[in-house]
Amino acid sequence: MLRHDGRSPSQLRPIRVERPFYGSAPGRVLIQAGRTTVLCTASVDEGVPPWKMRDPKPSGWVTAEYSMLPGSTAPRKGRERSGKVDGRSTEIQRLIGRSLRAVVDVEALGPRTITIDCDVLEADGGTRTLSITGGFIALVDAVQSLAPLGVDPALVIPQSIAAVSVGIFDGVPVLDLDYHEDSQAGVDFNVVMTGEGRFVEVQGTAEHGTFSHAELLLLLALAQGGLHDLQAMQKQVLGEQWPLDTNR
């Protein structure tokens, strides 16, 4: 079976990464999967949130913010202003933050805060998963910028992380859904996994009907295959900046 865009069920959309992208943040990456386009930046601030300052020796922190720009969808999405973030954006930025913190040793980071900003320039499905995959690349670059301060990137980031969507569309399990598929899928999952093959988060629901245990296992296996490809892409993009093999 070929999908409406010519892909096989187990095929990712074409991925393109531009790094470094324009800007002043130490980590700045433009990542595209098909038409979905996200600008991921990683900024470093000395100091940590007030609630962490209560610790005798405060460790670092990684957080994320997510926004869809007004022109990313049709019809136009209203701009979020005055600190008012809609429920969907809040859910997604919490997911991004949780996912990236899962592969960061905050003790090795030291009392610093890294903020990953994910701004969607065009949305055609999979914006949250692409934000995690691109956000990791930006995070690595930001941590690498701390090396002159005595921070060992390989200790701060001991493993990689990526995310992808899977679902059942027209009765067929498919990988990396675009909006056409996502909006009509009977089952829709977002899967976050480390480079060691351990799951960080699995978000899944049956939009129409139900799914079986066998279908669940099939979807997870399909996601794992796509995530291995995405993690290989991350390693290729980062090249000499890839910190993860140095402490093996």
Which residues of the chain fall below pLDDT 70? 81-84, 245-248
Query: Residue 37's Cα: distance from chain center in Å?
Result: 12
Position 82 scores a pLDDT of: 58
pTM over 0.75: yes
Position 1 scores a pLDDT of: 78
Distances (CA, A) of 123 to 113, 163, 176: 28, 16, 13
For the CA atoms of 41, 45, 49, 50, the dihedral, rounded to the nearest 10 degrees, stands at -160
Does the domain made of 15-77+87-241 have the CATH classification 3.30.1330.60?
no
What are the structural domain ranges in the chain?
15-77+87-241
- What are the pLDDT digits (tens) for 210-235? 999 999 999 999 999 999 999 999 99
